[in-house]
Structure 1
Amino acid sequence: MRTTRSRTVAALGVCSALVAGPLTAPAAADVADLRLDQWGLDTVGAAEVWEETRGSGVTVALLDTGVVTDHPDLDEVTVGPDLTGQDLSPDSDGYGVHGTMMAGIIAASGHGIEHTGGVMGVAPQAEILSIRVAAEADAAGGGETDPGALAAGIRHAVAEGVQVICIPLPDAAFSVQGDEAERDAVAHAVDNGVVVVASGGADGEAVYPAAYPGVLAVGSVGADGALSEFSSRGEHIALTAPGEEVTVLDADGGYTTVTGSDAAAAFTAGVAALIRAEYPQLQPEQVAEALTGGAVAPAAGAEQPGHGAGVLSAPGAMAAAGTTAESVPPFDPELAEQLADDPLVPRWVLWTGGAVLLVLLAVVGLVVLRRRSADPYGLGRRTPETERRPVRGRRRRGRGRRGVSR
């Protein structure tokens, strides 16, 4: 991951305009220029599906370096635990630089009048749950992630009821060897209906956590659609997404750019959030199939390893998800919650039915016990037809008489 600090005056322009009066033309021009810089958002076609959904009701757990809560383009951010052992808060120096960038790609919603300022994320109405599992790359530890922290972060996200987990770790956080605790945590997330997305790494070989079963590993492409030089060529890559010079949020309130497969993973997590919002009944593997099935074949170099199914496409993924959802009964979270609190069968009916059933079982048991007591050997009662009658003797015919001898 490489970042280029390119502060913009969009936010300052909007603030000064609000002080002086209505939004002025220069500020609007700044906003237009900034939006045009979001080539990644256009490449994945996110705006094309915003009439269907913008990710409302979906929470994406971001396992990263933390996310600041005072950036004007971020509305729905919940700060989770700091599992690095540093116990930092969002107002600490050096907190959430990388994580804020990724959060913006996923769910930035702009700012100002009708949210016309700043930048937009793929799913601007999705919520972010920030779970800090790594320090910044330029801090102590170099961005490395403790396996125990990552596994604990995944399990915490599942316990909080998120629908998507994004792990956009930089290259320094990857390992060529898997960890059992991480593997089990990923399996736990998938078993609980959570889609897990991770950056694919920079090496040709499979790296973890991207290569764990159930994880959707994402590679990077540039604005021309070609596979990025730094992106992994490993077979574990499922698809690619924009990852070069992507306009993102800066933790200090401004904007900057980022380059790396971590950005590609954030784009993919955003589209996954759109799918989960529109089709909540789909299972993680079905969402992953929709993301890969709706991918667009790259313009060039498709024969190279590392492209996966192609380049991420929000319209294509939504269409594929819609086709799959036709054969899956819809799931209504509000109805499920209502049924949990107020079941279809009243509780008094269940209690009454249970009591009647217990009485019937008691009566049947008593009858059986009495019968067994009356006939312990199971021979059955003797009836008149089966009673033995006395056998009378019959005189035998012979030549002589009784008592006479010859």
Structure 2
Amino acid sequence: MRTTRTRTLVALGVCAALAAGPLAAPSAADVADLGVDQWGLDRIGVDEAWEESRGSGVTVALLDTGVVTDHPDLDSVTVGPDLTGQDPDPGSDGYGVHGTMMAGIIAASGHGVEHTGGAMGVAPQAEILSIRIATEADGPERAAVEPGALAEGIRRAVDEGAQVVSIPLAAGGFSAQADDAEREAVDYALDNGVVVIVSGGADGEAGYPAAYPGVLAVGSVGSDGTLSDFSSRGEHIALTAPGEEITVLDAEGGYTTVTGSDAAAAFTAGVAALIRAEYPQLQPHQVVEALTEGAEAPAEQGQPGYGAGTLSASGAMAAAGTTAENVPPFDPELAEQLADDPLVPRWVLWAGGTALLVLMAVVGLVVLWRRSANPYDLPRREPESTAESGRRPVRGRRRRGRGRRGVSR
């Protein structure tokens, strides 16, 4: 990752406009000029995708160096756990430099009238859940991820309800060795319906976490669609996205630029958020398929490092829509409503349950009484009726004959 600080002094431009005409309202062109140049958004065709979705209701967990919450272009940021063991104040110097850059690519919403100023992210209505797993580095690359922090961060993201996990690591954050805890955490995310997107790394070999099965590894291209020199040429690369001289948010306020496959991964995570917002019923592998099937095929088709092609927001949305036609829709708001207010009122459930218990108790008492009266469960003996026998009952008849008492011969 390489960064170049080029602060945009929007305030000076506004003051100059007021000085030129303090009582005149700025024209539409003047307002539009307050925005920063973002060739990456144009390259992936995000305007067309925004007609369907802007990521509303989706949480993207960003596993990085933290995100500041006071930048004017970031509206929805939740500060999650700090797994580095340092736990610094989010407002301290040097906090969240890289994480804020990536958060802006994913979900910046601009500022000013109708959000025409500043920078926009791919999914401006998505929420960022910041989970700090790495520290900042003084050089152009970040320090390595804290041991165990990545695996725990993925699990915490899933437990907090994230639908997308973005791990935009620079080269310094990759490991040459696989880790069982990290692999199990990735599987845990996929099993719970969470899409995991990581930067593809540098050089030709696939480092971890990019090489774990199920994750989507992203390479970098320039504005002309050519694979970046620093981007990995490994077969693990699934697709590419803009990653050179990308305008991003500066943690101190203002703007700067960043270059690296980490930026490309952030672009892809933003498009995944658009898909998840519009088609929440899709499984992680279906979201990944939509991203790759909707990619713009490069002229260098089949060349290592290009994957399926360059990220296309509109193409991915179209592919996701086709897949969703055969998948039963799921309405999370309805599910939440039914959880709070079931179709059958609770008092009816309580009354029915009580009545059932009383009935069972009565039946149990009757069975117990019958068994106590006839413990061996023998059949009842019916008395023989007189009409059926044809004989008259004999009552107290004395036999005649000899040997009567009191008679002497």
In the alignment, the residues of structure 2 paired with residue 12 and residue 280 of structure 1 have an alpha-carbon distance, to the nearest angstrom, of 43
Equivalent residues in 2 for 1:68-147, closer than 5 Å: 68-138=68-138, 142-147=142-147
Q: Is the 8 A contact 1:43 1:242 kept in 2?
A: yes
User: More deviation in 138-147 or 251-260?
Assistant: 138-147
In the alignment, the residues of structure 1 paired with residue 208 and residue 81 of structure 2 have an alpha-carbon distance, to the nearest angstrom, of 22
Q: Give how far 1:206 is off.
A: 2.2
Amino acid at match of 1:260: G
Q: Give how far 1:262 is off.
A: 0.3
Q: Give how far 1:156 is off.
A: 2.0
Q: Give how far 1:352 is off.
A: 3.4
In the alignment, the residues of structure 1 paired with residue 142 and residue 276 of structure 2 have an alpha-carbon distance, to the nearest angstrom, of 34
In the alignment, the residues of structure 1 paired with residue 61 and residue 349 of structure 2 have an alpha-carbon distance, to the nearest angstrom, of 39
Equivalent residues in 2 for 1:11-50, closer than 5 Å: 11-14=11-14, 17=17, 22-23=25-26, 28=31, 30-31=33-34, 34-35=36-37, 38-50=38-50
Q: Is the 8 A contact 2:141 2:171 kept in 1?
A: no
Provide the secondary structure at the position in 2 that maps to 1:238: strand
Provide the secondary structure at the position in 1 that maps to 2:285: helix
> Could you give the per-residue CA deviations for residues 136-164 of structure 1, whole angstroms, max 9, x where no partner exists?
13279942102321222222222221211
In the alignment, the residues of structure 2 paired with residue 334 and residue 343 of structure 1 have an alpha-carbon distance, to the nearest angstrom, of 13
In the alignment, the residues of structure 1 paired with residue 11 and residue 295 of structure 2 have an alpha-carbon distance, to the nearest angstrom, of 34
Provide the secondary structure at the position in 1 that maps to 2:34: helix
- Stretches of structure 1 that go unaligned for 5 or more consecutive residues are 385-406
Which residue is 1:205 aligned to? 205
Provide the secondary structure at the position in 1 that maps to 2:138: coil
Provide the secondary structure at the position in 2 that maps to 1:31: coil
Amino acid at match of 1:4: T
Given the two structures, how large is their TM-score scaled by the length of structure 1?
0.85
Q: Give how far 1:70 is off.
A: 2.0
Q: 1:365 to 1:234 in 2, by over 3 A?
A: farther
Are 1:341 and 2:344 counterparts? no
Q: Give how far 1:365 is off.
A: 5.8
User: More deviation in 4-13 or 310-319?
Assistant: 4-13
Amino acid at match of 1:59: T
> Could you give the per-residue CA deviations for residues 226-251 of structure 1, whole angstroms, max 9, x where no partner exists?
22121112222211111111111122
> Could you give the per-residue CA deviations for residues 16-48 of structure 1, whole angstroms, max 9, x where no partner exists?
65795644799547436x33xx22111111111
Amino acid at match of 2:256: T
Q: 1:30 to 1:355 in 2, by over 3 A?
A: closer
Given the two structures, how large is their TM-score scaled by the length of structure 2?
0.84
Q: Is the 8 A contact 1:14 1:112 kept in 2?
A: no
Q: 1:12 to 1:150 in 2, by over 3 A?
A: farther
> Could you give the per-residue CA deviations for residues 346-396 of structure 1, whole angstroms, max 9, x where no partner exists?
2233233334444555566667778888586x9x75999xxxxxxxxxxxx
Are 1:263 and 2:266 counterparts? no
Provide the secondary structure at the position in 1 that maps to 2:292: helix
Provide the secondary structure at the position in 1 that maps to 2:273: helix
Q: Give how far 1:343 is off.
A: 0.8
Q: 1:345 to 1:91 in 2, by over 3 A?
A: same
In the alignment, the residues of structure 2 paired with residue 98 and residue 326 of structure 1 have an alpha-carbon distance, to the nearest angstrom, of 38
In the alignment, the residues of structure 2 paired with residue 15 and residue 186 of structure 1 have an alpha-carbon distance, to the nearest angstrom, of 50
Q: Is the 8 A contact 1:142 1:172 kept in 2?
A: yes
In the alignment, the residues of structure 2 paired with residue 55 and residue 338 of structure 1 have an alpha-carbon distance, to the nearest angstrom, of 21
Identity %: 77
User: More deviation in 1-10 or 259-268?
Assistant: 1-10
Q: Is the 8 A contact 1:147 1:179 kept in 2?
A: no
Provide the secondary structure at the position in 1 that maps to 2:277: helix
Q: Is the 8 A contact 2:167 2:199 kept in 1?
A: yes
In the alignment, the residues of structure 2 paired with residue 180 and residue 329 of structure 1 have an alpha-carbon distance, to the nearest angstrom, of 34
> Could you give the per-residue CA deviations for residues 90-144 of structure 1, whole angstroms, max 9, x where no partner exists?
2211111111111111111122222111221111111111111111132799421
Q: Give how far 1:203 is off.
A: 3.0
Are 1:165 and 2:168 counterparts? no
In the alignment, the residues of structure 1 paired with residue 236 and residue 230 of structure 2 have an alpha-carbon distance, to the nearest angstrom, of 15
In the alignment, the residues of structure 2 paired with residue 50 and residue 124 of structure 1 have an alpha-carbon distance, to the nearest angstrom, of 9
Q: Give how far 1:318 is off.
A: 0.5
Q: 1:268 to 1:141 in 2, by over 3 A?
A: closer
Amino acid at match of 2:298: P
Equivalent residues in 2 for 1:377-388, closer than 5 Å: 381=379
Q: 1:148 to 1:364 in 2, by over 3 A?
A: same
Q: 1:148 to 1:141 in 2, by over 3 A?
A: farther
- Stretches of structure 2 that go unaligned for 5 or more consecutive residues are 383-409
Q: Is the 8 A contact 2:32 2:116 kept in 1?
A: no
In the alignment, the residues of structure 2 paired with residue 196 and residue 146 of structure 1 have an alpha-carbon distance, to the nearest angstrom, of 19
Are 1:221 and 2:221 counterparts? yes
Greater Rg over alpha carbons, structure: 2
How many residues are aligned here?
Answer: 378
Q: Give how far 1:295 is off.
A: 1.0
Provide the secondary structure at the position in 2 that maps to 1:55: coil
In the alignment, the residues of structure 1 paired with residue 128 and residue 18 of structure 2 have an alpha-carbon distance, to the nearest angstrom, of 28
Which residue is 1:352 aligned to? 351
Which residue is 2:407 aligned to? none
Equivalent residues in 2 for 1:367-386, closer than 5 Å: 381=379
Q: 1:140 to 1:293 in 2, by over 3 A?
A: closer
RMSD (Å) for aligned C-alpha atoms: 2.7
Equivalent residues in 2 for 1:290-305, closer than 5 Å: 290-299=290-299, 301-305=300-304
Q: 1:350 to 1:292 in 2, by over 3 A?
A: same
In the alignment, the residues of structure 2 paired with residue 231 and residue 119 of structure 1 have an alpha-carbon distance, to the nearest angstrom, of 25
In the alignment, the residues of structure 1 paired with residue 359 and residue 160 of structure 2 have an alpha-carbon distance, to the nearest angstrom, of 44
In the alignment, the residues of structure 2 paired with residue 18 and residue 98 of structure 1 have an alpha-carbon distance, to the nearest angstrom, of 35
Equivalent residues in 2 for 1:181-196, closer than 5 Å: 181-196=181-196
